[in-house]
A = this chain, B = another copy of it.
Amino acid sequence: MRRIRLIISYDGTNYVGWQVQPNGVSVQSLLEKALFELTGETIRVEGSGRTDSGVHAKAQVAHFDTEARMAADKFAIAMNTHLPRDIRVLYSEECAPSFHARFSAKRKTYTYTVQLGAHADVFLRTTSLHLHYIPNIAAMQQAASCVIGTHDFNAFKCADSPMENTVRTITRSEWTKNGNLLTYTVEGNGFLYNMVRILVGTMLEIGSGKQTVSDLQKAIESGKRSDAGATAPAHGLCLCRVVYPDFDTEEVLNRD
């Protein structure tokens, strides 16, 4: 038995999300189906974390165990022949049996993309949120910097998510503007369910003048979901990087 780890990219538009669900097709289920077709084995694929319906990934990490004797680096190409074109395995290699895509992860990076303009760009309609007004970017930038550090993010999780430790450390949180595109990049040691989307939703309300930067600070202090803003739509969100002690998706993907 060997453990293989993968880097996977997907356009989340047509899926119920990463995780196997009763009500539709998930990315995880299609990866498991591809592995069954390749190996004849019923294989569980463990991801670094689930992504919601409509959320994208440029670099999701997953691992699985197999008895198949295929060279580890060939799994990427072989799996792709059994996958739809909106899911690609970008890389595969053998890893230590102790490696776990979720529990070994040290750091993750997400981006959230907003497009500005009178009319939405049709080519970005599934990967960015369209705003027809120009928000106060300076205020959003100020709000983003408040998020950096170790905080209790209890106010920024889905209200019905399970009890858990809600303290996370955020090492990067910033908005950058490039033409009509406004991108939020956030890097941290972990994220609660819907945390990035609620952070973005709150900052967009700050950008439109509905909330202030001190409202966001207050939400961090109170830990009350009702003090934070609305959950931003899923389709602007993308998982861009996962870092492990011995594995960094960005380093691997930039190799060639």
Task: Give A contacts to B, CB under 8 Å.
Answer: 9-11, 56, 58, 76, 80, 85-90, 118-123, 125, 127, 256
Q: Given A85-B125, A86-B125, does the pair A119, B10 have CB atoms closer than 8 Å?
A: no
**Closest Cβ neighbor of A7 among chain B residues:** B119
Q: Is the interface of A mostly helix, strand, loop or mixed?
A: mixed
**Closest Cβ neighbor of A85 among chain B residues:** B125
From B11, B80, B119, B122, A123 is in contact (CB under 8 Å) with B11
Copies in the complex: 2
Check A123 against B56 for contact (C-beta < 8 Å).
yes
**Closest Cβ neighbor of A125 among chain B residues:** B85
**Given contacts A85-B125, A87-B122, A123-B127, could you give 5 more A-B pairs where the C-beta distance is less than 8 Å?**
A11-B125, A86-B125, A88-B120, A90-B118, A118-B256
A11 to B80, CA, bound (A): 25
From B118, B122, B256, A9 is in contact (CB under 8 Å) with B122
- Chain B residues, CB < 8 A from A90: 118-119
22 CB contacts below 8 A, A to B, read: A9-B119, A9-B121, A9-B122, A11-B122, A11-B123, A11-B125, A56-B123, A76-B119, A85-B120, A85-B122, A85-B125, A86-B122, A86-B125, A88-B119, A88-B120, A88-B121, A88-B122, A89-B119, A90-B118, A90-B119, A118-B256, A123-B127
In the complex, how many angstroms separate the beta carbon of A91 from the nearest chain B beta carbon?
9
**Closest Cβ neighbor of A10 among chain B residues:** B122
In the complex, how many angstroms separate the beta carbon of A127 from the nearest chain B beta carbon?
6
- Chain B residues, CB < 8 A from A119: 9, 76, 80, 88-90
In the complex, how many angstroms separate the beta carbon of A79 from the nearest chain B beta carbon?
11
A172 to B194, CA, bound (A): 48
- Chain B residues, CB < 8 A from A10: 122
- Chain B residues, CB < 8 A from A256: 118
- Chain B residues, CB < 8 A from A88: 119-122
A90 to B80, CA, bound (A): 37
In the complex, how many angstroms separate the beta carbon of A133 from the nearest chain B beta carbon?
13
In the complex, how many angstroms separate the beta carbon of A165 from the nearest chain B beta carbon?
34
- Chain B residues, CB < 8 A from A127: 123
A10 to B89, CA, bound (A): 29
